[in-house]
Amino acid sequence: MSLAICPGSFDPLTLGHLDIISRAARMFDSVVVVVMFNSGKSPAFTVEERYAFIRKSVAGIPNVEVDTYEGLLADYCALRGADAVVRGLRVMSDFEYEFQMALTNNSLHPQTETIFLPANREYMFLSSSVVREIARFGRDISPFVPPEIALDIQARLCGKEKQHERG
């Protein structure tokens, strides 16, 4: 049984992420999407929210599981006995960070290989931060996120913006 891990912040999940997850699910027997929460970033959504968005969005893909992890990706890979980490590459500027992460994981846990999938050209310039920005200003994010979660994201971020305006 081959197992791949798709790690990320997913703050929130976008169609670009979902494209990478679906493609990984066609290449491996099972895929675990793991929301990592040890990075220095201060996320807009809680781990529980991000986890719930992904669960809703991958419900139709039977070999995909969702998890959360606080710690090093290499340790999670060892824990799960993963064959591969699958990451998406959009533009050249992704490359340096991704390459550094792959090399670090390889030195900590060489049993898990990193595989890069090129972004779908439709989602090349799509990121969670773009989605957050559009949603905060009340514009429609449905072209960028799975339909199951669009309204929840919109309501949450738009509501937050209004609270700031009042506060």
Site mask for ligand ADP (CB under 6 A), range 79-108, x = bound: --------xx-x---x--------------
Q: Report the residue number, 90 or 160, with the smaller CB distance to ligand ADP.
A: 90
Sites for ligand ADP among residues 51-70 (CB under 6 A): none
What torsion do the CA atoms of 8, 26, 89, 32 make, to the nearest 10 degrees? 10
CB atoms within 10 A of CB 153: 26
Give the β-pairing of 113-118 and 84-89: parallel
Q: Report the residue number, 3 or 13, with the smaller CB distance to ligand ADP.
A: 13
Q: State both tokens at 151.
A: 């309204």
20 binds ligand ADP (CB under 6 A): yes
Whole-angstrom distance, CA of residue 68 vs CA of residue 46: 11
Please report how close the Cβ of residue 165 comes to ligand ADP at its closest, in angstroms: 28
Tokens 């993963």 belong to residue:
82
Binding site for ligand ADP (CB under 6 A): 8-10, 14, 16-17, 20, 87-88, 90, 94, 119, 123, 126-128
